[in-house]
Structure 1
Amino acid sequence: MGSTTTPSNAAEYANTKAEAATIEETETNTNCSASTFASKSEELPLGKAVRQYSKFCLYLAGLLSVVLLFGYDLSIVGVITSVPAFQKDYGVPDTTEAPEEDKWILPGIWVSLLSAMPSVGMALGAALGGILQDRMGRRRCLQIGSSIIVFSVLIIFLSNKPPSKDGKRGMLLAGKMIQGFAVAIMKITTLTYISENVPVALKGMAMALFPAITLLGQLTGALVVFACEGIDNQNAYLIALASQWALSIAPFVMSFLLPESPPYLIAKGDIAGARNSLTRLLAPKNDVDIALQKLRHANDTEADTTEHISYMDCFNSANRRRSFIIIYANFLPQLFGLPLLSSVSYFLQQVGMKPSTSILFLIGGILCGLAANVGSSWTLSNIGRRKLTVTTLLIAAALWSGMGISGFWHNDSITPWSTAAIAVCIIVVCGLGCWPASYAIMSETSALRLRAKSQAIGGMAAYTSTIVANFVLPFFYNPDYLNLKAKTGFVHGVLSLIAAFGMWILVPEMKGRSIIETDQMFDEKVPARMSTKWKPRVSDVRMANV
C-alpha cells in the first residue's frame, strides 16, 4: 500500500524542511562570514592591520616589556665584564701585558661559566614554564617569573661582598642562573601568548619585534654601562646591576592587566572565559564570535591527536617533524653568531680595541641592528621565510669568513676596526632576515594545543645551544687559551653555511598561512622544497587565519 499525506502531515513536513533550510543557510552564512573575515584580515596592509587590531597591539606592547627586560639583563650582565672596575674586583692581572699597563681580565674558565651557565637556568625555566603554562595559565606564569627576577637581581647586586675572588664569581654565577630561570619562564610564556593569539596580518610585525625589542633592551643596558664606566670604583658596575630592578616593574604589572589567553581557556573548557578574553583583545572592531568559532574549530581538530597534552605528544608521529623544525629555528641565532655578537665589546678588546671604544662599537652595532629589525617588519611581511633566511645566512657566512681571513694579517691599528665593522654588518644582515625569521618559524610551526610545550622545547634547545656556544667560544679568543682573535670568525662562517643548508632542506614555507592551513600542510607531509607552491584545500580555507 502507498502512504498517504494528510494536510496536517504536509504542513509539518514543510515546516521541517523550512527549518532545515534555514539552519543550512545560517551555517553557510556563518562560514562565509568567517571566510570573508579571515580573508580580509589576512589582506590588510600593516598600517590598517594595526588600526584594526589596536587593542591587541596595546597588549602586545605591554607584553614586549618582558622581551625588553630580557635584552636589558642580557646586556647588563654581559657588557659589565668590559668595565675595568668590574674586571679588577672579579678578575686577575693580565700576564700577557706589561705590568705597568695594570690590565685585568676574567679567567677564561670563568668567562665561559658566566656566559654559559645562566643558560642552564634558562633551560630549566623553559622546561618548567612549558608545564606551568598548561596547568596554571599564561598570566600566572608571568607573575611567578617577574617575582623571582627581583630576588635574582639582589643576589647579583651583593655578589661583590664575599672576601675571595672565587666567592664573588660564584655568587654572581648563582644569581645569573636564577635570573636566567625566571627570565626563561617569562619569555617562553610571552612567545606562547603572542604566537597563539596574534592575527595573521600582524604575524610578521609581531615576530620582528622580538629581536628588535631585545636589541632595544641591550642598547639601553649598554648605554647605562657606558655612562657608569668612567666611575673609578665599584659603583661603576653596581649602579648598572641595580638598574635591572626598574625594568622588572612593567612585566609584573602587565601580568595582572593581561587577559588570560583564549586558546588556553578553550582547551580548559572555559568558553565563556575565552569569549571574555577575546572581547578584551579584539572588540569592538572585530567579530568576537567568529574569532571564538575559529579557535574552537582549531582546538577540536587538534584534540583528536593531542587529547592528553604532554611533552611526548610533541614527538609522536603527527608532531615529530614540527618539533624538529622548532628546535632548528631555536638553533639559528647561535649558528649565525648571536652569542659572540652579544659580547662583542669583550671580544673586540681581545682583538686589540680599548674598553671604552669597544663599548661604543657595541652601542653602534645595537643601533644598526635595531634599525635592521625595524626594517624586518617589511621583509617578514613581504618575503618568504625560506628565501629570506637562506639568503641572509649565506651573506653572514661570507662576512664571518672575511673576518677570519683578516685575522691572518693582524695589525693593531687596522684589525680591531675591520673586525668591528664586519660584526656590525653581520648584525644588520641577520637583523633583516634570519634572526626575526627564526621567531616567525618557531611560532608558526607548532600545533595550537601543543604551543606551550612546543615553545618550551624550543626554548630548551635554544638555551642548551647557548650553553655550548657561550662556554666554548671564549676558548677560541681569550688570551690565556687559543687566542685566535679575528680568526674566530671562521667558526661562525662554517656554522652559518650549515644553518642555510638546514633551512633549505627542513623548513616549509609558512608565511601567510593560518593554523588550520599549516596543520593540513604537515598532515599531507609536504616536502620543504615544494611547500612554496602548495595550496590548501578549499574546504579548509573557510576556517583559516585564526
Structure 2
Amino acid sequence: MLSIDEHNPESQHLSPLQDGSDDESEASKSDRRRSGARFYSSHFIEAPDVPLTASPAPPELSFLGEVRLYPKITLYSIGLAIAFLLGGYDSVIVNTVPSISQFQKDFGVQYGSDKNDYIIPSMWLSLWSALGAVGQILGALVSPSWQDRSGRRIPMIVGTVISAAAVAVIYTSYLPSDINARRAVFLIGEIISGFGIGILTTTAQTYLSETVPTSLRGSAMALCPTFVLLGQLVGALVVFLSSSGNTSSAYLVTFVSMWPFSAITLLIVVLVPESPAFLVRNGRLVDAHRSLQKLHSSTQDCGQLVKDLQKTDVQEKEENEKIPWRDCFRGTDLRRTLIVSFVSMMPCFFGFSLLSDASYFLQIVGMDDHNSLMMFVLGISLGLVANAVGVWVANVVGRRTLMLSSLSVTSLLWLGMGIAGCWSGTVSIWYTAVTMMFIVVICGVGAWPASFAVVGETSSLRLRAKSQGISTVASDIASIIFSFVLPYVYNKDAGNLGAKTGFLFFAICTITTVITWLAVPELKGRTNSEIDHMFKLELPTRKFKDWSGVDRMDDSEGLMWK
C-alpha cells in the first residue's frame, strides 16, 4: 500500500509504508511505481501489479461541446499558440525588413547610376535567410533532451527570453560605423532569434500534443500554422505602415514591436502548469494531479487521468525500446519514409521560399517598395484564407488529386512569369506580382495542406514519431538550401534573373509533379490498418485509390485484403 501527502515535498516520489521494508532500494521503489502505483488525492490506494485500465470512452460531442467540456485547456491552447504567432511575426519582420528603403541604404550598396537605388548584396541576403533557419534547427535539436530533463515550462520560458534578447541585438545592429559590422551584428541577432524561437515552438508543440485531449488535439495543433501565418500578417502590416520613413527609425520601430509579443508569450508560458505527462514520467504524481486540476474543470476525474498517463508512459517506454531508427529504412517502410520526406519538402519545390521573399523580390523586378509591401500583405492574407479552405478540400477531393492538380497549374503559372520576365515595363512587373498571388492561393488550397495530410498518415504508427523527425529534418535542409541559393539567382549583383526565376521554378515544379504522380499514393479515407496492408502488398502508386481489399481475409489482422 502507498501513501501520498500532498503537503509534504518529500512525498513527491511515492514511498512505501513502514512494513518492514525500510531499506527498500531506489530501484525497487521505481519498480513499484512502474508496476502501477494508484493515486487519487491524499488517500491510501492499493497498488496491484496489473496493467492500468483505460478510462471509458466518453460520448461523442460536437467541437463546441468539447470546448465547453475542456474550457481551461482550450484557453491554454490558444495562449500557447501565441508562441507560434511570435515565431511568424519574428520571421516576417527579419525577412521583410530588407525591403525597406532606409534599411537598404544603411545595410546595402548603391547599384547602378541612380543614387537612390540600393540593394542588399546576395551573400548577406543568403546568410540572413539561411542561418536564421539554422538557428531554429539548433534550437529544435537542443529542445528535446532539455525537455526530458527539465520539463516543458523552463525551455519555453528560456526560449522566449532568448528571443527577446535577440531583438536587442538586432536593434543595435545599426550602431557600428562599418557596414560589414552592421550586417554581421544583424546576422548574429537572427541566429540567436532563430535559436530561441526553435526552442520555444518545439517545446510548445510537445506541450500541446501531450496535454490537450485527443478530441481537441487536431484542432489545437492546427492552431500552430494558422497563428504562424497570423503573426506573419501582423508583422507585414507593421513593416508596411512604418516603411515610409527616411531615417533609421523606419525599420527600428519594427524591431521594437517584437518585444510586446515576447512579453505576452513570456507571461503565458510562466502561467501554464507543467505538463502532467512529464511529471508522471518522472514519478511526481502529486504534482501531476495538481497540474491536471489546473488544466481541467472540477467535473474531470484527475485521479483517473493520472492512471491513464501512467499506463501510456509504460507502453511508450516498452515500444520505444524495441524500435531502432534503422527500421525507417527497411523493407516497405523505406518507401513510406521516402514519400514522407519528399512531400515535406514540397513547399520549397512549389516556390514557398521565393514567395516568402516577395516584398524584396518584387522590388528587384521593378516595383516600388510601397506596392511590393502591399502585395506581400495581400499574399499572406490570401494564404490564410486559402489554408482554411484547403483543410476542408483535402478531405473532400483527396490528397493526391489535390497535389497533382495544384502543382500542374502552378508549373504553368511559373512558366508564364518566366516568359513575362523576358520583357520590361509595368505590365511585366504587375503580371509577376499577380502570378505570385495566384500561386499562393492555388498552393494554399492544394499542395500545401495536402502535403501536411500525407506526411501525417503515410508512415506506420509504430514508426510515426521517428518518420516525423526525419521529415522535419528533410524540410529544414531543403528550406536552408533554397533560402541560401535563391538570392544568387534573382538579385541584381548575381544571377540577375528577376522574374525569369519563374523558369527555374517551372522546371522544379514540373519535376515535382511527375514524382508526385509516380510515388505519392491516394490515402484519403483509409484506416491505418488498410494503409499498412497496401504498403505491405507493394501496390503500385496508382492502385491505392481503387484498392477494395475484398478477395480474402487475413485472420491475424481481421482485415479484408487482396
TM-score when scaled to structure 1?
0.79
Q: Partners in 2 of 1:538 and 1:190 — Cα distance?
A: 42
Q: Percent identity?
A: 39
**Kindly tell me: are residues 147 and 313 of structure 1, through their superposed partners in 2, closer, same or farther at Cα, counting changes over 3 Å?**
farther
**Kindly tell me: are residues 445 and 294 of structure 1, through their superposed partners in 2, closer, same or farther at Cα, counting changes over 3 Å?**
farther
Asked whether the 8 Å contact 2:135–2:191 carries over to 1, the reply is: yes
Matched, 1:115 2:132: no
Match of 2:250 in 1: 236
Q: CA deviation at 1:266?
A: 5.1
Asked whether the 8 Å contact 1:146–1:251 carries over to 2, the reply is: yes
Matched, 1:411 2:424: yes
Q: Partners in 1 of 2:302 and 2:461 — Cα distance?
A: 19
Q: Partners in 2 of 1:296 and 1:444 — Cα distance?
A: 27
Match of 1:7 in 2: none
Paired residues for 1:34-433 under 5 Å: 34=57, 37=58, 41=60, 46-95=63-112, 98-99=113-114, 101-197=115-211, 202=216, 205-265=219-279, 267-268=281-282, 277=291, 280-281=294-295, 283=297, 300-307=314-321, 324=338, 326-380=340-394, 382=396, 384-408=398-422, 410-433=423-446
**Which structure features the higher share of helix residues?**
1
Q: Partners in 2 of 1:292 and 1:235 — Cα distance?
A: 53
Question: What is the root-mean-square deviation in Å for CA atoms of aligned residues?
Answer: 3.9
Q: CA deviation at 1:430?
A: 2.1
Asked whether the 8 Å contact 1:126–1:459 carries over to 2, the reply is: no
Which stretch has the larger CA shift, 237-246 or 191-200? 191-200
Match of 1:475 in 2: 488
Q: Which secondary structure does the structure 2 equivalent of 1:126 belong to?
A: helix
Asked whether the 8 Å contact 1:205–1:377 carries over to 2, the reply is: no
Q: Partners in 2 of 1:490 and 1:369 — Cα distance?
A: 23
Q: CA deviation at 1:86?
A: 0.4
Q: Partners in 2 of 1:179 and 1:135 — Cα distance?
A: 23
Aligned length: 500
Q: Partners in 2 of 1:282 and 1:390 — Cα distance?
A: 44
Asked whether the 8 Å contact 1:211–1:373 carries over to 2, the reply is: no
Asked whether the 8 Å contact 1:388–1:433 carries over to 2, the reply is: yes
Amino acid across the alignment from 1:252: L
Q: CA deviation at 1:225?
A: 1.2
Q: CA deviation at 1:199?
A: 5.2
Matched, 1:466 2:483: no
Q: Which secondary structure does the structure 2 equivalent of 1:364 belong to?
A: helix
Match of 1:484 in 2: 497
Asked whether the 8 Å contact 2:350–2:407 carries over to 1, the reply is: yes
Which stretch has the larger CA shift, 110-119 or 434-443? 434-443
Q: CA deviation at 1:66?
A: 1.3
Q: CA deviation at 1:401?
A: 2.6
Q: Which secondary structure does the structure 2 equivalent of 1:158 belong to?
A: helix
Asked whether the 8 Å contact 2:102–2:250 carries over to 1, the reply is: yes
Amino acid across the alignment from 1:67: F
Q: Partners in 1 of 2:494 and 2:287 — Cα distance?
A: 58
**Kindly tell me: are residues 508 and 419 of structure 1, through their superposed partners in 2, closer, same or farther at Cα, counting changes over 3 Å?**
same
Q: Which secondary structure does the structure 1 equivalent of 2:174 belong to?
A: coil
Q: Which secondary structure does the structure 1 equivalent of 2:74 belong to?
A: helix
Amino acid across the alignment from 2:444: G
Asked whether the 8 Å contact 2:347–2:448 carries over to 1, the reply is: yes
Higher RCO (CA < 8 A, seq sep 6+) = 1
TM-score when scaled to structure 2?
0.76
Asked whether the 8 Å contact 2:71–2:297 carries over to 1, the reply is: no
Match of 1:14 in 2: none
Q: Partners in 2 of 1:313 and 1:325 — Cα distance?
A: 15
Asked whether the 8 Å contact 2:54–2:308 carries over to 1, the reply is: no
Amino acid across the alignment from 1:73: D
Q: CA deviation at 1:376?
A: 3.4
Amino acid across the alignment from 2:95: G
